[in-house]
Amino acid sequence: MAVTTSTDIVEKVRSTPEERRATAIGIVLVAIAAFVLWVFALGVDSSYVSTFNLSLPGDPDLTWAVSSQVLSFVVAAIIAFIGGWVLRRTHVKWTNLGLAIALTLFALAFLTWAAADKSFSLVGMLRSTVILSVPVTLGALTGLMCERVAIINIAIEGQLLTAAFVGTVAGSAWGIWAGLIGAMLTGAILGLVLAVLSIRYRIDQIIAGVVINIFALGLTSFLARRVLSVTPELNSPGRFSSHKIPLLGDIPVLGSMFFNHNMFVYGTYALVLILHFGFFYTRWGLRSRAVGEHPKAADTVGIDVYWTRYRNVVLGGLIAGFGGAFLTLAQVSRFEENLTAGIGYIGLAAMIFGRWMPFGALGAGLVFGFALTLQQKLGILGTPIPSEFLSMTPYLVTIIVVAGVVGRSRPPAADGQPYIKD
């Protein structure tokens, strides 16, 4: 950080950083409201109706038709109200909640505008959001497992890619469950490599991660070209099928969105719950966090720092392997070169966006999943916005987040520093 100047101190006396941030966010929200009013409400013909399809093919029909213009007017009004409320700074703590509600409404207005005079499957889109969020969330959870014990894991991308490859080959040879196990073990082995390189050999953790990514990309591409191209029977593992959860799956909209999926999706929810409970309510979690925040203090009270780090990084690898298996055993059922195409990095971003918290990772995963879905679906609707700009969104959001604009996210204090036992 830059040196604190005298003007900073004067500023601090006048208002806290949170209050100043609230002012900034309030101004942004008012601007967003004006934008919604100008572009989404006044920019469409008043006779246009946006039709949202709320059921999947095969389920009872359910649609919601709304005047494109009226909805945008309403949304603009609500966002302006929230903006004004944030600007009054009476409840600074709730700024982020206001921001989240406003941005969700903005997304709704945006979809209404994109679907003006057309019909659009909202449930299909939300369902796809959930599906695309799975590898991102799992990547984020992997990163979280490692960074909570102060090991930076840039290798998530490589772990996902290699696990996806092994999942395909083992799944084709011995069935999808064998593929799943193979993928998870692969993730764990790469986690072990990262742990050994950064704990035992004290290589810079980012370099170790980059190396693993290059190695993973090189090896899987090499094997795909040299082996899979001549043995296509090793590249068709089949897929895990979807199972509707009784009762919950029958709820309109939410049922199709969350409770009618393959076991990877349910597994992700379960993992988020388990990790949240584990990190904040068990001895294991307390010890892990102690190692991540202040390893020396943890060592002093008798926690084995190295062992804790090894264990968490390898467990994180199992999660990454689970995510890699999702890519080739559920989403598609074949491996292609560089299949992950940056998902691991988005996962890393989601971890930071979610502030190193399991539920944060899930939320961030859904946000990024939504952005990824948008770029697929908006092409179908033919909006004037180039899909490349939508593709950029997750990355831009991440930069904004790490720059501290949407609140400061604080990593574990010892993150990235090797621990040298005296």
Partner 1 sequence: MTDNGDAQTEPLVTEDSPPGDRSSMDRIAGVGSSLRQALLVPALAVLTALIVGAIIIAATDLDTLPLWGTDPGEAFRQTMSGIGKAYKALFVGSVGSPRAISETLFAATPLILAGLAVAVGFQAGLFNIGVNGQMHIGGMVALWVGFSVTLPAIIHIPLAIAAAIMGGAIWGGISGVLKARTGAHEVITTIMLNFVALFMVDYLLKTSVFQAPGRNDPISQKVNASAQFPTLIGDFRLQIGFFFSLAAVAFVWWLMYRSTIGFEFRAVGYNPHGGRYAGMSVAWIYLGVMAVSGGLAGIAGTNQILGLEPYRGISNFAGTVGFDAIALALLGRSHPVGVLFAGILFGALRAGGREMQGAAGVPIDLVLVLQALIIVMIAAPRLVRAIYRIKTPDQELSTTVSTGWGG
Question: Which residues of this protein are in contact with partner 1, per CB under 8 A?
Answer: 1-3, 152, 154, 197, 201-208, 210-212, 214-215, 217-219, 221-223, 225-227, 230-231, 342, 345, 348-349, 352, 386, 388-389, 391-392, 395-396, 398-399, 402-405, 408, 410-411, 413-418
- Secondary structure string (H, E, C) spanning 193-231: HHHHHHHHCCCCHHHHHHHHHHHHHHHHHHHHHHHHCCC
Q: Which is nearer to partner 1, 285 or 416 (CB)?
A: 416
Q: Which is nearer to partner 1, 13 or 230 (CB)?
A: 230
Which residue shows structure tokens 């992700």? 268
Q: Which is nearer to partner 1, 279 or 345 (CB)?
A: 345
Q: Which is nearer to partner 1, 83 or 411 (CB)?
A: 411
Token pair of 245 as six digits? 């959860």
Q: Which is nearer to partner 1, 83 or 295 (CB)?
A: 295
Q: Cβ 55 to partner 1, closest distance in Å?
A: 33
Q: Cβ 316 to partner 1, closest distance in Å?
A: 17
Residue 220 and residue 215: Cα distance in Å, rounded?
8
Residue 138 and residue 319: Cα distance in Å, rounded?
6
Token pair of 199 as six digits? 């704990």
Q: Cβ 118 to partner 1, closest distance in Å?
A: 24
Q: Which is nearer to partner 1, 18 or 59 (CB)?
A: 18
Give the largest CA-CA distance in the chain.
Answer: 75
Q: Which helix (H) or strand (E) holds 119?
A: strand 119-121
Q: Which is nearer to partner 1, 115 or 193 (CB)?
A: 193
Q: Which is nearer to partner 1, 70 or 385 (CB)?
A: 385
Q: Which of 311, 320, 380 is nearest to 119 (CA)?
A: 380
Q: Which of 134, 138, 140 is nearest to 349 (CA)?
A: 140
Alpha carbon 293 to chain centroid, angstroms: 24
Q: Cβ 360 to partner 1, closest distance in Å?
A: 15
Q: To the nearest 10°, the Cα dihedral for 105, 273, 159, 143?
A: 70
Q: Cβ 368 to partner 1, closest distance in Å?
A: 12
Residue 371, amino acid: A
Per the CB < 8 A criterion, the answer to whether 319 and 187 are in contact is yes
Q: Which is nearer to partner 1, 84 or 218 (CB)?
A: 218
Q: Which is nearer to partner 1, 64 or 222 (CB)?
A: 222
Q: Cβ 220 to partner 1, closest distance in Å?
A: 8
CA dist 85 → 36, 37, 93, 127, 281 (Å): 18, 18, 12, 33, 36
Q: Cβ 402 to partner 1, closest distance in Å?
A: 4
Token pair of 2 as six digits? 């830059």
Q: Cβ 205 to partner 1, closest distance in Å?
A: 8
Residue 207 and residue 189: Cα distance in Å, rounded?
18
Q: Which of 362, 363, 364 is nearest to 402 (CA)?
A: 364
Q: Cβ 249 to partner 1, closest distance in Å?
A: 35
Per the CB < 8 A criterion, the answer to whether 22 and 86 are in contact is yes
Residue 208 and residue 155: Cα distance in Å, rounded?
8
Q: Cβ 12 to partner 1, closest distance in Å?
A: 17
Token pair of 206 as six digits? 């980012």
CB atoms within 10 A of CB 422: 4
